[in-house]
Amino acid sequence: MDKTIIIDKAVIIVVVFAVTMLMAMYATLAERKIAAWIQDRIGPNRAGKGGLLQPLADGLKLFAKEETQPNTPNKFLFKFGPFLAMTLALMTSAVIPWGDKFHLFGRDIELQAADLNVGLLYIIAVLSVGVYGIMIGAWASNNKYSLMSGIRAASQMISYEIAMGLSLIGLLLMTQTLSMREIALQQEGMNWNVFYQPVGFLIFLICSFAETNRAPFDLAECEQELIGGFHTEYSSMKMGFFLFAEYANLFISSAIISVLYFGAYNYPGMSWAVENWGVNIANVIGIFALFIKICFFIFVYMWVRWTLPRFRYDQLMNLGWKSLIPLALLNLVVTAIVILLIKN
């Protein structure tokens, strides 16, 4: 194996990790700012210019807090919960193509940690394991509210994963590949999947809200009934990890939506840019395009959170099982028929 590949991948992994952390940090500030604007307020503006240092202050505060632990027989699992939540939130980023191939030092560098040929499957797998952090943490807390929250998170995940998977199969029929890079390559120019799979996109978006445990599907942590749910018993940086994992998830799932449905790093006029300005410059613009898309979806997540009230539990289940799954199945069948007709 070529040594340079190891260096390339190491650099990409470190950069992706750092960028994910940075985005998660500033997502907390963006969340508070957007919440404030929607409620006709200004939002945090004391730490740094326009509140830019607020995430640092929050992080420092969490570090400085006293660490308490409930009297639970599962001391290991109690610590393992936040660790798992954070790890799984960061793991998904491995297969996301952040940009096309760079041509540097006389060789091609792929901006992707691992180009798995089953990348899509990997994402579904990691997303479904993602709930384990919450479940384990909630169960180990030895607290009835936390347990309720863990049960809710698990059942919600099971219900919405089906619809999510079905909507992805519709996409899969079109792309004929599970590799994220090839899906990205197929959407060259404005040939984005969202124009061919609008219903599939909608279902995927709704299920992503549920998978990231965000409003209006934040039944796992609803403050009013479950006093914070799975992180009731957590304090200091362990709680910070749970909260941080939520924002890392937010960033990653926005990235997945952008890659699967909104053309990844492709932008109109990319081939022209490659011809006239060279591969590298066109790629840098591509990365920016991807980040603009990601930021837009992060904004949509927050926008929805501060607009909608939380679903009641039966509404959540009705929506998942009685509306989204039949709709996803219908979408799948229609896609299959259309593809069959076109091929003949």
Partner 1 sequence: MSTNTYSLSGRKKEVSNKKLTWTEKIYLVAILKGMMVTLKHMFKKKVTISYPEKTRPFSDVYRGKHMLMRDDEGRERCTACGLCALSCPAEAISMKAAERTADEMHLYREEKYAEIYEINMLRCIFCGLCEEACPKQAIYLTKSKQIAKADISRDNFIFGKDKLVMPLEAAIENTKQQNQA
- Residue ranges binding partner 1 (CB under 8 A): 34, 37-42, 45, 202, 303-304, 306-308, 318-319, 322-323, 327
CB of 256 to partner 1, least distance (A): 22
Residue 36, amino acid: A
Rank residues 141 and 167 by Cβ distance to partner 1 and give the closer one: 167
CB of 46 to partner 1, least distance (A): 9
CB of 323 to partner 1, least distance (A): 5
Rank residues 95 and 163 by Cβ distance to partner 1 and give the closer one: 163
CB of 308 to partner 1, least distance (A): 6
Rank residues 42 and 158 by Cβ distance to partner 1 and give the closer one: 42
Residue 290, amino acid: L
Rank residues 51 and 137 by Cβ distance to partner 1 and give the closer one: 51
CB of 42 to partner 1, least distance (A): 4
Encode 179-201: b = buried (16+ Cβ within 10 Å), e = exposed.
bbbbbbbbbbeeebbbebbebbb
C-alpha 174/C-alpha 171 separation (Å) is: 5
Helix 236-261, helix 131-140: angle, nearest 10: 160
Compute the half-sphere exposure of residue 89: CA atoms within 13 Å on the CB side of its CA.
Answer: 28
CB of 285 to partner 1, least distance (A): 28
222: left (phi over 0), alpha (psi -120 to 50) or beta: beta
Q: Strands 99-104 and 107-111, how do they pair? A: antiparallel
CB of 298 to partner 1, least distance (A): 15
Cβ contact 23:251 at 8 Å: yes
Please give the C-alpha separations between residue 196 and each of 70, 206, 303, in angstroms, as whole numbers. Answer: 51, 18, 25
Residue 16, amino acid: V
Q: How many other C-beta atoms lie within 10 A of the C-beta of residue 14?
A: 10
Rank residues 121 and 202 by Cβ distance to partner 1 and give the closer one: 202
N-term to C-term CA, the chain: 44
CB of 315 to partner 1, least distance (A): 9
Length of the chain in residues, anyone? 344
Rank residues 68 and 323 by Cβ distance to partner 1 and give the closer one: 323
Q: Which helix (H) or strand (E) holds 101?
A: strand 99-104
Rank residues 94 and 207 by Cβ distance to partner 1 and give the closer one: 207
